[in-house]
């Protein structure tokens, strides 16, 4: 058992000491003397959130399969421990060895949402690693960023030595081998970064130079050397059968957000919703083989002892072997103390039949994500779900005994009108009406309960809506009020509940999502002013951020209130996701024309990813 | 001791099992509820044929004898389960220890009589050992503590102290709740051994008892200096205290 980095005195004083002791079942402890490369993997949020993330579990398993690598984990210390580590100058430590993170060769940080950026600085700061990459020396780990936010890494470019763009399974081996061979021959940190930048998918920000025009937009974005490519190509697993998957995931002692086996059934999505970054950057859709998934389900339940398994993908209903897989899971595990938690499936006869087997109909709800209230608006965002489909699904569910419906929408979408907003409660009312019209009184389980939730739309890089403008916080709240007022006018208002998201945090997310390198100064500033855990409403302080932008001379509106022109150089244009900019422009124009683009299985839209040579692009072509 | 007929109990009748385990090292920071979750998962990993409740979210039939506070180590923790079928005690202990993390060790796995009450409902007392952690000195000599103990606890006929609960204060008599209390020396530092009333009725915490002694001696109690260790948990028969592990019998 490793000697703990924290004293009993500290551990007894802080909340949830179990976050910091490691020792979890299936965590990997290796003999340091046998190890050449120490890799610390970080999710910059609290342990319970970070431990729920599938990507880290995959990479942790993959790295630790190598006998020369020891991969460990670290998460953001909660503010109570943060203060103690700062005051007592205790360096942040990894969970397995309890040794300082700063002694590792690599610190890999996954960037899952923009609101974690101050936590990235917290991790570096508490690790006693210089916050700016340019201040680091051979004494410090190589700091790597990965995950969805690297599709625009520019706002945090100054803090990272390199970014890995794409799916981790592909070039990490090459990167680690390169590191090892260059270290053995005594090469410098700079020399390593230069060679690393030549690997596909690796972006070394210090090797690129950005110039700006007078209007603030980017003039040039170019490598500083001829031997560095001006574009960085997204890495993608094309052989899902050979891709590693953790058969023995780490089992936390404390209840993590995902306290269950997570079985990834496919990557990518065929749907092409125009607001969805994941749906664009993980193209093409690649399914996993159902036989392998069955094996994994059994192995992972056995190795963890979890009492629940859930399926993971962007759109599980589109997995072609879903029925076979779910039937297998229900037959194999139902009644054996294992719950099967289904992702939000398309509501139809099959999914309701399965839900009836694995859930209590009286307690559970059915979920629709129309994302927009009117058909016009849904055509703009290319969300294929129609009112007819929703009502048909709801009717089936009501007939089956369900009476709770959850509906998810976005407000602030491009071209949105008052009518589009008011269509949201109108749709909820239609569904409620259907319940009272179709379910006879004696068979009703009380009133039906329709819950509407709206978030505010944030345009993301590499989506067809990446050029769209956003709105000031008070405009978002005004739109939520339009919906709320319209709810009150509905006949079935007593059956409808409405929740809306916060507006300030939406605007900030928008700045960070589409910001350029200059935004980094404000992130540094706001961290110095004490901002951390911005993803947590109890800690988020919008005023602090506004002060930081002002102090750095940055106008946040430049990043949010402006519709970008189609020929502007966007900060993320240097990344090649395989989805062509021409396709995104075409889709933006289709959005403005309110025309729908069929999904990948209906008709290829020519987005460009066919050149990866696999996935849905080549289905039924042998 | 009655012999158990076969090594694998195939009969439909449910078997009540009492499991004893040790908790030490870093695991002392894992709280009671998380230990319950830990054992629920461990049961499945070890393929113990535990019984589940009925309904949409079935849970394992499992109960713990007495919650152990965060920071406390133990050689005598107990949990009861009901099993549909069971391997031998030895095979079950081995299977469980295969899936334990460092800091939890299963010591015994025994069958209980058919109508046995759960450990939780019969707990009457617990033994504790309190000692100074490395790097901490005792605030007084062993001799001073022995004198203090005699004056504070051994000689008086009643020892009334105030017990602070979440809602109110309660005055209790330690003479009624502390069944044994003595001091030994280890490396020149005192080690406090006590047998205390435990369970749902008159539970008394060892820190409270030692803190009262400190107070009587004019010392300030520093919880950080003391490691509390539970040695054993007992039920009470008419004649004596009986360790919970003595209430079952091995499955051969």
pLDDT in tens, B57-102: 789 999 999 999 999 999 999 999 999 999 999 999 999 999 999 9
Partner A contacted by B183 (CB < 8 A): no
CB contact under 8 A, A337 and B101: no
Chain A residues whose beta carbon lies within 8 Å of the beta carbon of residue B43: 305
Nearest CA in chain B to A299: B45
The predicted structure's pLDDT at residue A1: 64
CB contact under 8 A, A253 and B43: no
Partner B contacted by A359 (CB < 8 A): yes
CB contact under 8 A, A17 and B27: no
Q: CA of B30 to nearest chain A CA: how many angstroms apart?
A: 6
- Interface with chain A: mutation pick from B27, B41, B96, B226, highest number of A CBs within 10 Å: B41
Average pLDDT over residues B226-245: 95
DSSP string, A165-188: -B-TTTTHHHHHHHHHHHHHTT--
Give the pTM.
Answer: 0.95
Partner A contacted by B103 (CB < 8 A): yes
Residue carrying structure tokens 């070039």: A171
Q: What percent of chain B has pLDDT over 90?
A: 84
CB contact under 8 A, B37 and A255: yes
Average pLDDT over residues B123-140: 96
The predicted structure's pLDDT at residue B9: 46
- Interface with chain B: mutation pick from A26, A253, A335, highest number of B CBs within 10 Å: A253
In this structure, the strands spanning A286-287 and A366-371 are: unpaired
The predicted structure's pLDDT at residue B13: 63
Residue A224: DSSP 8-state: S
Q: What is the phi-psi region of residue A499: left when phi exceeds 0, alpha when psi lies from -120 to 50, beta otherwise?
A: beta
Nearest to B56 among A17, A302, A359 (CB): A359
The predicted structure's pLDDT at residue A359: 81
CB contact under 8 A, B44 and A254: no
The domain segmentation of chain B, as residue ranges, is 12-121, 137-221
| Alpha-carbon distances of A250 from A51, A67, A78, A478, rounded to whole Å | 8, 19, 21, 45
Partner A contacted by B27 (CB < 8 A): yes
- Interface with chain A: mutation pick from B45, B52, B224, highest number of A CBs within 10 Å: B45
DSSP string, A437-449: HHS-GGG--SS-E
| Helices A79-88 and A117-126, axial angle in degrees (round to 10) | 30
Partner B contacted by A304 (CB < 8 A): yes
Q: How far apart are CA B241 and CA B239, in angstroms?
A: 7
Nearest CA in chain A to B223: A9
The helix (H) or strand (E) run that includes residue A424 is helix A418-438
Q: How far apart are CA A328 and CA A330, in angstroms?
A: 6
CA-angle at A598, arms to A595 and A599, nearest 5°: 140
The predicted structure's pLDDT at residue A27: 98
Question: Which is more confident, B54 or A195?
Answer: A195
Q: What is the phi-psi region of residue B196: left when phi exceeds 0, alpha when psi lies from -120 to 50, beta otherwise?
A: beta
Residue B7 has pLDDT above 60, yes or no: no
Average pLDDT over residues B126-136: 96
Instruction: Round the CA-based radius of gyration of chain B to a whole number and report it.
Output: 20
- Interface with chain B: mutation pick from A22, A23, A357, highest number of B CBs within 10 Å: A23
- Interface with chain A: mutation pick from B22, B23, B28, B29, highest number of A CBs within 10 Å: B29
Is-contact B246 B153, C-beta < 8 A? no
CB contact under 8 A, B27 and A337: no
CB contact under 8 A, B45 and A254: no
Q: CA of B31 to nearest chain A CA: how many angstroms apart?
A: 8
Average pLDDT over residues B26-47: 97
Residue A46 CA, chain-centre distance (Å), reads: 16
Tell me the backbone φ, ψ of residue B14, rounded to 5 degrees.
-75, 140
Q: CA of B112 to nearest chain A CA: how many angstroms apart?
A: 24
Chain B residues whose beta carbon lies within 8 Å of the beta carbon of residue A336: 52
Q: Place B238 in a pLDDT band, splitting at 50, 70 and 90.
A: confident
Nearest to B133 among A8, A301, A303 (CB): A8
Partner A contacted by B143 (CB < 8 A): no
CA nearest neighbour of B53 among A335, A260, A361: A335
Partner B contacted by A247 (CB < 8 A): no
| Alpha-carbon distances of A46 from A50, A256, A408, A429, rounded to whole Å | 6, 10, 27, 39
Please, what are the averages of pLDDT over each run of 10 residues along chain A (622 residues)?
91 97 98 96 98 96 97 98 98 98 98 98 98 97 98 98 96 97 96 98 98 97 97 95 93 95 95 96 96 97 96 92 93 84 83 85 88 97 92 93 95 98 98 95 90 98 98 97 98 96 96 98 98 96 98 97 96 98 98 96 96 92 58
Q: How far apart are CA B18 and CA B24, in angstroms?
A: 20
The predicted structure's pLDDT at residue B199: 92
For chain B, what is the mean pLDDT?
A: 92
Q: CA of B156 to nearest chain A CA: how many angstroms apart?
A: 35
Chain A residues whose beta carbon lies within 8 Å of the beta carbon of residue B103: 1, 23
Nearest CA in chain A to B222: A9
Q: How far apart are CA A410 and CA B104, in angstroms?
A: 49
ipTM above 0.85 for this complex? yes
Nearest CA in chain B to A307: B41
Per CATH, is B12-121 categorized as 3.30.70.580?
yes
Residue A571: DSSP 8-state: T
Neighbours of B138 (CB within 10 A): 17
The predicted structure's pLDDT at residue A621: 65
Q: How far apart are CA A56 and CA A60, in angstroms?
A: 6
3-state secondary structure chain B: CCCCCCCCCCCCCCEEEEEEEEECHHHHHCCHHHHHHHHHHHHHHCCCCECECCCCCCCECEEECCCCCCCCEEEEEEEEEEECCCCCHHHHHHHHHHCCCCCEEEEEEEECCCCCCCHHHHEEEEEEEEEECCCCCCCCCHHHHHHHHHHHHHCCCCCEEEEECCCCEEEEEHHHHEEEEEEEEECCEEEEEEEEECCCCCCCCHHHHHHHHHHHCCCCCCHHHEEEEEEEEEEECCCCEEEHHHHCEECC
Chain A residues whose beta carbon lies within 8 Å of the beta carbon of residue B25: 1, 23
């Amino acid at each position: 058992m490793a000697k703990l980095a924290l004293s009993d005195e500290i551990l007894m004083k802080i909340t949830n000491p179990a976050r910091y002791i490691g020792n979890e079942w299936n965590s990997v402890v290796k003999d340091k003397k046998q190890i050449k490369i120490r890799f610390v993997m970080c999710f910059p949020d609290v342990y319970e959130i970070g431990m729920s993330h599938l990507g880290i579990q995959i990479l942790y398993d993959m790295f630790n399969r190598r006998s020369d690598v020891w991969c460990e984990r670290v998460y953001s210390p909660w503010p109570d421990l943060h203060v103690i580590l700062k005051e007592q100058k205790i360096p942040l430590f990894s969970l397995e060895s309890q040794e300082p993170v700063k002694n590792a060769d690599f610190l890999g940080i996954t960037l899952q949402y923009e609101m974690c950026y101050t936590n990235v600085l917290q991790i570096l700061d508490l690790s006693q690693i210089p916050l700016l990459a340019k201040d680091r020396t051979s004494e410090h780990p190589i700091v790597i960023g990965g995950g969805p936010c690297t599709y625009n890494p520019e706002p945090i470019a100054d803090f990272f030595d390199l970014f890995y763009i794409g799916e981790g399974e592909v070039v990490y081996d090459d990167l680690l081998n390169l590191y090892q061979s260059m270290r053995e021959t005594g090469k410098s940190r700079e020399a390593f970064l230069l060679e690393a930048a030549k690997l596909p998918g690796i972006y070394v920000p210090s090797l690129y130079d950005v110039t700006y025009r007078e209007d603030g937009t980017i003039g040039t974005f170019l490598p500083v050397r001829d031997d560095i490519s001006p574009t960085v190509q997204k890495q993608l697993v094309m052989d899902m059968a050979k891709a590693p998957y953790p058969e023995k995931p780490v089992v936390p002692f404390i209840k993590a957000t995902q306290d269950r086996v997570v079985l990834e059934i496919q990557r990518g999505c065929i749907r092409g919703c125009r607001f969805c970054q994941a749906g664009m950057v993980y193209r093409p859709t690649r399914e996993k083989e159902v036989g392998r998934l069955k094996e994994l389900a059994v192995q992972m339940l056995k190795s963890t002892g979890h009492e629940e398994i859930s399926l993971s993908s962007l759109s599980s209903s589109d997995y072609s072997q879903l029925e076979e897989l779910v039937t297998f899971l229900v037959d194999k595990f139902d009644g054996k103390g294992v719950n099967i938690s289904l992702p939000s499936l398309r509501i139809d006869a099959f999914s309701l039949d399965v839900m009836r087997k694995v859930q209590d109909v009286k307690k559970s709800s059915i979920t629709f994500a129309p994302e927009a209230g009117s058909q016009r608006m849904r055509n703009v965002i290319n969300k294929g779900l129609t009112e007819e489909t929703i009502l048909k699904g709801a009717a089936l569910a009501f007939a089956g005994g369900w009476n709770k419906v959850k509906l998810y929408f976005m407000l602030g979408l491009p071209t949105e009108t008052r009518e589009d907003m008011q269509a949201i409660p109108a749709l909820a009312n239609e569904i409620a009406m259907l319940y009272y019209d179709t379910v006879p009184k004696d068979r009703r389980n009380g009133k039906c309960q329709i819950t509407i939730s709206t978030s505010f739309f944030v345009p993301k890089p590499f989506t067809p809506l990446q050029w769209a403008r956003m709105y000031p916080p008070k405009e978002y709240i005004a739109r939520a009020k339009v919906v709320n007022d319209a709810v009150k006018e509905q006949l079935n208002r007593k059956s409808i509940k409405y929740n809306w998201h916060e507006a300030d945090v939406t605007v900030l997310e928008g700045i960070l999502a589409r910001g350029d390198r200059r935004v980094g100064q404000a992130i540094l500033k706001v961290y110095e002013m004490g901002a951390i855990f911005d993803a947590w409403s109890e800690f988020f302080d919008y005023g602090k951020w506004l002060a930081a932008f002002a102090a750095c001379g940055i106008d946040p509106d430049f990043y949010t209130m402006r519709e970008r022109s189609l020929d502007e150089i966007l900060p993320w244009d240097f990344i090649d996701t395989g989805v062509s900019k021409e396709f995104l422009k075409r889709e933006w124009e289709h959005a403005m024309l309110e025309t729908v683009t069929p999904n990948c299985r209906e008709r290829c839209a020519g987005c460009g990813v066919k050149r990866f040579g696999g996935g849905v692009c080549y289905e039924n072509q042998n | 001791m009655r012999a158990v007929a076969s090594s694998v109990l195939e009969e439909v009748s449910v078997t009540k099992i009492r499991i004893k385990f040790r908790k030490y090292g870093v695991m002392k920071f894992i709280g009671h509820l998380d230990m319950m979750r830990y054992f629920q998962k461990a049961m499945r990993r070890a393929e113990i044929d535990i019984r589940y409740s009925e309904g949409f979210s079935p849970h394992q039939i499992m109960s713990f004898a007495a919650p152990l506070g965060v920071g406390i180590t133990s050689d005598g923790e107990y949990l009861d389960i009901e099993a549909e079928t069971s391997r031998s005690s030895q095979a079950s202990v081995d299977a469980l220890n295969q899936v334990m993390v460092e800091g939890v060790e299963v010591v015994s796995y025994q069958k209980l009589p058919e109508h046995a009450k759960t450990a939780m409902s019969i707990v009457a007392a617990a033994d504790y050992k309190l000692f100074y952690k490395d790097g901490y000195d005792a605030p007084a000599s062993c001799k001073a503590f022995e004198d203090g103990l005699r004056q504070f606890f051994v000689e008086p006929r009643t020892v009334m102290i105030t017990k602070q609960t979440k809602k109110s204060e309660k005055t209790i008599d330690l003479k009624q709740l502390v069944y044994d209390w003595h001091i030994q020396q280890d490396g020149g530092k005192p080690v406090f051994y006590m047998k205390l009333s435990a369970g749902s009725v008159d539970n008394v915490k060892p820190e409270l008892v030692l803190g009262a002694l400190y107070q009587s001696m004019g010392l300030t109690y520093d919880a950080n200096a003391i490691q509390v260790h539970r040695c054993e948990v007992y039920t009470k028969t008419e004649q004596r205290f009986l360790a919970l592990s003595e209430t079952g019998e091995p499955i051969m």
